[in-house]
Amino acid sequence: MKLVIIEGVGKKDTIKKYLGSDYEVVATKGHVRDLPQKTMGVNTKNNFEMQYTIMPDKQDIVKMLKEKSAKADKIYLATDPDREGEAISWHLCNILGLNPSDPIRIEFNEITKNAINKGLEHPRAINLNLVNAQQTRRVIDRLVGYRVSPKACKAIQPNLSAGRVQSVALRLVVDRENEIRNFVPQEYWSVVANLKKDSSDVFKASLVKFKNKKIVPAKKEEVDEILEKLKTGEYKVKSVKKSLSKVHPSAPFTTSTMQQDALNKIGLSLKKVTSCAQQLYEGVEIGNEGKVALITYIRTDSVRVAPEAQKMAKDYLLAHFGKEYVPDKPNEYKVKSSAQDAHEAIRPISLDRTPESVKEFLSPENYKLYKLIYNKFLASQMTEATFNSVNVEIDNSDYIFKSSGKTPVFDGFMKIYNTAKKEKAQENDEDESENAKLPELNEGDLLTFVDMKTTQKFTKPAPRYTEASLVKEMEEKGIGRPATYTPTITLLSSRKYVEKDGKYLKPTELGEKLIEFLLKGYEGLFNVNFTADMETKLDEIANNGLDYLSVMKKFNDYLEKLIGQPTEPEHTGIMCEKCGHEMVKRVSKYGEFLACSNYPQCKNIRNIVKVCGVCPKCGGDVIERKSKNGKIFYGCNNYPKCDFISWEIPVEKKCPKCGSYMTQKEMYGKLRIKCSNENCDYSETIKKENKDEKDS
């Protein structure tokens, strides 16, 4: 009997049906051996010797593996084809008494009979470079966790964790929130003319230049002045530029681009995308066929496509679409220099297994994701789409308006995969003159003015991250790797460091306090460049055999230097009424509070009271409170004697219309003061004092 040991139990039946009765397939259900839970388990004084132990919940699995391996004629280790999988196989060698230099390791990028047989025909030794990279990552993460987390717990609250990748991802979210808070909107105006030629349809043209210099009116007075000058002139076509434009298909999916498109296009959460992709990779029940894998390995940063897959796509396109949809030579996509490129891009295993043909066997989410992956891959192997593009400039009194339009010539890859516009950092409104339906225009044509639309607008800050845009940012900045995006972002939510505001990620008060603390003493450790550089070093260990011990030593020396810095909680000068020690600021998931510095001997705590105004009902203090759901509201400190509450901050000013109290709310850099009486519509807007203006 030959024993094949795999990692995930989900693909056990899929693999077993291809191997026959001479093989037994068993699963480890992930890692079976790790550093101990209650001690650091790394001897930094002795070449970073690691004290591995069998994980408590894997004792029975290890016992089963030992029993079955003792009876097996041959053992193959077929854990996942990545660093973690290689490390699991190496640990199994130690547990089962196997020689890692023997040809016992097999791997396959897809779960098909052909791929598995190829793996069995070409077994290899354990790749110690991959193992060393994984161990280095594990040790560095353990050092950070064991040395920095306790200091955060002491300064803020118990049970906090700092992580090499996790905390940098959190910092991105916190930094973006601070950008939004500090953003001062700038007023600007759009000027759009509605024009027509003879009896043609009306089209829009936007004001863009004055005397060939870009113009963006900042005030209504500027707009009025422009409109006055335009009244005396005529609208004349200055230039017409026509061209044939091409839109090329984008590369097939990597892990991160699959996650981004699935989040943006089909609305799945990051955790759900990963779960669905894992099921499609491991295999789903397809009628009488049993378990069948539908896609290739899902943890990859490569856009490379195997030659046999390119041929499969070409044959399918010729048969179902025609030769005009097949490029002269297969489309090749550039792999990023930072990519590990260990596996090809995510793609369907067989194009004959169309999404519609397997729809009845898939959950709605699995079907949507499979269709997305299927169409993305097929589109990546198709010809480009072509358009006739027209760009027009129109002159009136040296004011230049522009309008553009395009009409499709050939749909190409867009026949099956229409590329959505990328999210704009400013999320401003689209230019109304883009993609206009234009009449036939020639230089010198005089146009008829219909009307003018002027719109007041304000610049907007960059939006908060969504799960999709955070994954994109992490990949672009080199924070983490394909296998870590989902667990990192999921951990931030589960530990209450971030929360969802609709589809956007917002840092909690606890998350902001943690980052504030980490940046005071450990900014060099928790910054993007340092984290990205460490990921590069791990890649060099895996790919080029960089000395992993020197990497660990250098990191440990740097960490010990940082650890020597003081990390005291924030002092308040307020004394504990129970024991006389000073009260210090700490943070829970519900916000800041005061706690006795003599903890755990004294467990006295107090709320931090934030006075926001005068109660309009009894004259007491209005203080900031939080509901059970964490939403801020304002109530009287004389509660329960006074039951005043409001979702907005009350102000002392009375409504001049009905006499009720008024409330204030900040919107786009301005304060909006409105009457609290639902039957009264009085409100006024006050521009907030600009700090720069104040200082000047």
CATH of the domain at 232: 2.70.20.10
CA-to-CA distance for 332 and 347, rounded, in angstroms? Answer: 15
Same domain membership, residue 352 and residue 281: yes
Q: Is residue 621 part of a domain?
A: no
Q: Is residue 549 part of a domain?
A: yes
* Boundary (domain end) residue, out of 510, 530, 563: 563
668 is catalytic: no
Same domain membership, residue 56 and residue 22: yes
| 481-534 tens-digit pLDDT | 888 999 999 999 999 999 999 999 999 999 999 999 999 889 999 999 999 999
Give how far the C-alpha of residue 393 lies from the chain's centroid of Cα atoms, to the nearest Å.
Answer: 40
Q: Is residue 625 part of a domain?
A: no
CA-to-CA distance for 656 and 653, rounded, in angstroms? Answer: 9
Greatest CA separation for the chain: 97
Same domain membership, residue 63 and residue 105: yes
- Compute the average pLDDT of residues 571-583: 88
Residue 80: strand, helix, or coil = coil
CA-to-CA distance for 663 and 695, rounded, in angstroms? Answer: 28
CA-to-CA distance for 286 and 400, rounded, in angstroms? Answer: 62
541, 478, 472: which is closest to 165 by C-alpha?
478
Name the pLDDT band for 591 (thresholds 50, 70, 90).
low
| 53-80 tens-digit pLDDT | 999 999 999 999 999 999 999 999 999 9
Same domain membership, residue 368 and residue 262: yes
Q: How many CB atoms lie within 10 A of CB 29?
A: 14
- Compute the average pLDDT of residues 22-37: 95
| pLDDT higher than threshold 50 for residue 617 | yes
Provide DSSP, 398-439. TEEEEEEEEEEEE-GGGGT-PPPPPPPSS-PPPPTTTT----
Q: Is pLDDT larger for residue 431 or for residue 149?
A: 149
From 235, 281, 297, 370, active-site residue: 297
Give how far the C-alpha of residue 492 lies from the chain's centroid of Cα atoms, to the nearest Å.
Answer: 12
**What is the token pair recorded at 9?**
């139990």
Same domain membership, residue 375 and residue 259: yes
Q: Is residue 352 part of a domain?
A: yes
Provide DSSP, 590-608. TEEEEEETTTTT---EEEP
Same domain membership, residue 373 and residue 397: no
**What is the token pair recorded at 277?**
């992709």
Same domain membership, residue 356 and residue 398: no
Same domain membership, residue 262 and residue 148: no
**Dihedral angle computed from the Cα positions of residues 432, 435, 439 and 440, in that order, rounded to the nearest 10 degrees:** 130
* Boundary (domain end) residue, out of 458, 474, 509: 458
**What CATH number did the domain enclosing 527 receive?**
1.10.460.10
pLDDT at 156: 87
Name the pLDDT band for 433 (thresholds 50, 70, 90).
low
Q: Is residue 346 part of a domain?
A: yes
Q: Is pLDDT larger for residue 476 or for residue 678?
A: 476
* Boundary (domain end) residue, out of 330, 347, 380: 380
669: left (phi over 0), alpha (psi -120 to 50) or beta: left
**What CATH number did the domain enclosing 105 receive?**
3.40.50.140
| 287-298 tens-digit pLDDT | 999 999 999 999
Contacts (Cβ under 8 Å, ≥6 apart) of 299:
80, 82, 255, 343, 482, 483
Range of the domain at 581: 570-607
**What is the token pair recorded at 151?**
């200091």
Q: Is residue 122 part of a domain?
A: yes
Same domain membership, residue 587 and residue 554: no
Same domain membership, residue 88 and residue 26: yes
Q: Is residue 637 part of a domain?
A: no
- Compute the average pLDDT of residues 566-573: 68
Name the pLDDT band for 272 (thresholds 50, 70, 90).
very high
pLDDT at 75: 98
Quick one: DSSP state of residue 362?
S
Same domain membership, residue 391 and residue 242: yes
| 99-115 tens-digit pLDDT | 999 999 999 999 999 99
Same domain membership, residue 401 and residue 305: no
**What is the token pair recorded at 597?**
């510095």
Give how far the C-alpha of residue 587 lies from the chain's centroid of Cα atoms, to the nearest Å.
Answer: 26
Give the H or E element holding residue 91. Answer: helix 83-96
Q: Is pLDDT larger for residue 599 or for residue 396?
A: 396
Q: Is residue 528 part of a domain?
A: yes
pLDDT at 324: 97
| pLDDT higher than threshold 60 for residue 223 | yes
Work out how many domains the chain is built from and give that number.
6
Q: What is the pTM of this model?
A: 0.80
